Amino acid sequence: MEEIQNIIDQYKEIDISLALSSLDRMKDFSNNFYGDVADIYDAITRIINIDRNPTGYNFNDAAILGLLIRVWKILKEVVYYYKENKGDIISLLDRQILESAVIAKYLLLNGDNVVEDYRKCSYKDRLNIIVDSQRSSGFFKTPAGVRLKKSILEKMNAEELTVASFSEQKKNKWKLSGKSFYQIFKELFREDMYKYLYGIPSESIHGSWNESMDFNLIRNKDGTFSTYPHYQSVDMRFITPLLRFTNEPYILWLKRIDVDLDYFENLFKWINSVNMRLFDSFEQVYAKQNT
C-alpha cells in the first residue's frame, strides 16, 4: 500500500491541466503516467491476504495471477518503447496485453471449472508431444528429448493430469469454454472494439501487407515503394485504449483474494479518469496544433 501511495502522492504536485496543454508536455506526462500505472499493477500482484493465502496460491488462483503479471511485464516494455518512440515494436506487444487482460477478466468472472479448463487448454501441444514420444522414441532418447518430456510430465503430474484427462478440451477443439477469443471478447466488451484493438494489431503479429505499408515502406509519388528504415513515431493513442481493458482484472483479482477494496476502487477511478483525460486532451490539442 505504501509503495502505491508513494506513486499517487507524486501527482499532488502536478498541474495536470498544464501537463496536458501541449503535445510535448503531454508526452512527458504520459511517459511517467503509463510507467506508474505499470508499477501499480506490479505492486498489486504482490499484495497478499495472509489469512487466505499464508504461503502462496493454488493452481486456479495462480493461473489468473500469472496473466496479471504478464500484463504488467509487457506493459513495462510497451512504456519503454513508447519513450523510445518506436511504434513498430509496440504494435507487436499491445495485442498480448489485451489478450491477457481479457482472458483474466473472463476467468475472474467465471467459476473454477472454467479456470481449470483454461489450464488444461494450455497442454494441447505438450500433450501431442507426449503422444509422439510413445509412438516414435528416436528424438526422446536424446538428452534434449528426455529433458522436454520430463518437464511436461512434471507439470502434468503436479496437476494430477494424465493423457486421458483432456477429453473435454479435445471435444471443444482446445478452445476455452469451447469459444473463440472473439466470442469471449464480445461477451465482456463492445463487439465493435475488437477490430480496432485486436484485429488490426494482429496484422503486426502475422506480418501482413497492410502492416508493411504502415511501418516498413514508403509510397513514392509514382506509386512505387521504397524502404522506410525508421521507426514509426507514437503518441498516447497507442496506450490509452489498452488501460480501458487492463484495470478491471486487477480490481476483480483483489476481490477474489478478499482484500479491502475501498482504497483500490478509488485508485482505479483515478487511473481511469487520468487516462480518459489524456485521450480527450490529445484529440483537442492535436486538432489545435494541426489546423
The region, left, alpha or beta by phi > 0 then psi within -120 to 50, assigned to residue 103 is: alpha
Phi and psi for 218 in degrees, rounded to 5? -125, 135
pLDDT band for 47, please (50, 70, 90 cuts).
very high
Can you tell me the distance from the alpha carbon of 256 to that of 44, in angstroms, rounded to the nearest whole number?
13
* 81 contacts 38 by C-beta, under 8 angstroms: no
| Of 93, 68, 81, 288, the residue nearest 202 (C-alpha) | 93
Cell of 276: 480518459
Ranges of beta strands (E only) in the chain are: 217-219, 225-227
Q: Within 10 Å of residue 176's Cβ, how many Cβ atoms?
A: 22
pLDDT-derived band at 291, boundaries 50, 70, 90:
low
Q: Dump pLDDT digits (tens) for 183-195.
A: 999 999 988 888 8
Among 178, 224, 230, 181, smallest CA distance to 201 is for 181
Confidence at 235, pLDDT banded by 50, 70, 90: confident
Q: What is the mean pLDDT of residues 209-220?
A: 91
Report residue 121 as a C-alpha cell: 487448454
Specify the pLDDT at position 289. 66
Measured CA to CA, the distance from residue 268 to residue 127 in angstroms comes to: 40
* Tens-place pLDDT, residues 122-172: 999 999 999 888 887 788 889 999 999 999 999 999 999 999 999 999 999
Q: Which helix (H) or strand (E) holds 155?
A: helix 143-158
- The whole-angstrom separation of Cα 172 and Cα 175 is 6
Express each pLDDT in 93-135 by its tens digit: 988 999 999 999 999 999 999 999 999 999 999 999 998 888 8
CA 148 to chain centre: 27
